[in-house]
Amino acid sequence: MSERKRNPQQSIRAHCLWCMGGSSQLVRECLDESCALYQLRGPKSDEAERVCLRTIRRHCLACTVGDRQAIRACPEKECVLRPYRFGVHPRTIKRRRKRQVEKNHLMLPGM
Ligand code: SF4
């Protein structure tokens, strides 16, 4: 799969297309209702970004058989879902880390 930046919904679509060998018809006709991505596989979905992120997290949990450490250390750089595997948008993680660093640099009065 390509390196193109995708939003969570586009990543789900790309993953389903990859799963079906690039055939949009096979994605449309997919019968695997047990797949976490099944409901969001269409070319367009009205679901909110948060729902897509949670769904990707659920899919990653299924992929690693529930092993959260394996998700954290996922080596599959080619997987389009990888940036969203924590169920949170990467920009949110970046913002949280920045806030954490700022907190560590907090100087108390008189020090
Ligand atoms: S990102 Fe990793 S854990 Fe998630 S679906 Fe892809 S390969 Fe599996």
Residue 91 lies in a domain: yes
Phi and psi dihedrals of 86, rounded to 5? Answer: -85, -5
pLDDT band at 39 (very low <50, low <70, confident <90, very high): very high
How close is the Cα of 56 to the center of ligand 1, in Å?
A: 9
Domain boundaries, position 97: 8-104
pLDDT score at 1: 52
Please, what sign has the CA dihedral across residues 24, 30, 34, 40?
A: positive
**The total number of structural domains that make up the chain:** 1
Residue 109 lies in a domain: no
Look up residue 79 and give its two tokens: 């997987």
Q: Is 81 in the pocket of ligand 1 (CB under 6 A)?
A: yes
What does the mean pLDDT of the chain come to? 91
Residue 46 lies in a domain: yes
The 10s digit of each residue's pLDDT in 75-88 is 999 999 999 999 99
Q: Helix (H, G, I), strand (E, B), or coil: what is residue 41? A: coil
Residue 32 pLDDT exceeds 70: yes
Residue 29 lies in a domain: yes
Which burial class, exposed, middle or buried, applies to 107 when counting CB atoms under 10 A from its CB (0-12, 13-18, 19+)?
exposed
* pTM of this structure: 0.85
Residue 66 lies in a domain: yes
Contacts of 86 (CB under 8 A, 6+ apart): 57, 71, 72, 93
More confident call, 106 vs 83? 83
Residue 2 lies in a domain: no
Residues 17-44, mean pLDDT to the nearest whole number: 94
Q: Is 59 in the pocket of ligand 1 (CB under 6 A)?
A: yes
How close is the Cα of 53 to the center of ligand 1, in Å?
A: 13
pLDDT band at 111 (very low <50, low <70, confident <90, very high): low
How close is the Cα of 71 to the center of ligand 1, in Å?
A: 7
Residue 65 lies in a domain: yes
